[in-house]
Amino acid sequence: MRFLARTALAGLAMLTASAAAAAGDDGTRPGDDAMTCQQIAMELMPGVQQMRGGSTQQLGQDAQEMQRRAVKREAEIQSGAAAETAEMEAGCIGGVNATCAAASEAIQARHDARNAQIKAEDKPLNDRASSEMSALAAQGQAMQQNPRLMHLMQLAQQKHCH
């Protein structure tokens, strides 16, 4: 979650031109050059909190769930691998034959069915993650349109704030 927020902010900080700046407001205020990193952070906080809201939090949770599923599935694959190897060896004694081909086709059919099941199980999570990424991108675009936020992020970058 922190990575996503940092990545979003770093990406936004690299943007130097915004539509609002083109309209004449560059976001600067008197005294900006004297601001400390802490003061910059305090003024940026509302925008950062918005970015840390539902989308990034849910994305982090979804990434953890996908990782948990991947680990569980890998364990299942490993436990079934020995049985598949034995099935292939039993069907393929003496070289390639009809029994060997049938064993290979049966294993492939099970793999295809398993992949279809995984795709169906993960579809709601993948759809939600896609929606969350779109919402996060929209938030980033909205922030780009705010010349003050863009100026503060540039100022933070210039001052090497973390």
pLDDT, average across residues 155-159:
93
Domain locations in the chain as residue ranges: 2-158
Q: Is the pTM of this model over 0.75?
A: no
Measure CA of the first residue to CA of the last residue in the chain; give whole Å: 17
Helix axes 37-51, 2-14, angle to 10 degrees: 110
Does 8 have pLDDT greater than 60? no
Q: What pLDDT, on the 0 to 100 scale, is given for residue 17?
A: 40
Q: What pLDDT, on the 0 to 100 scale, is given for residue 2?
A: 45
Does 3 have pLDDT greater than 60? no
> For the segment 88-131, what is each residue's pLDDT rounded down to a tens digit?
777 777 666 787 888 888 889 999 999 999 999 999 999 998 88
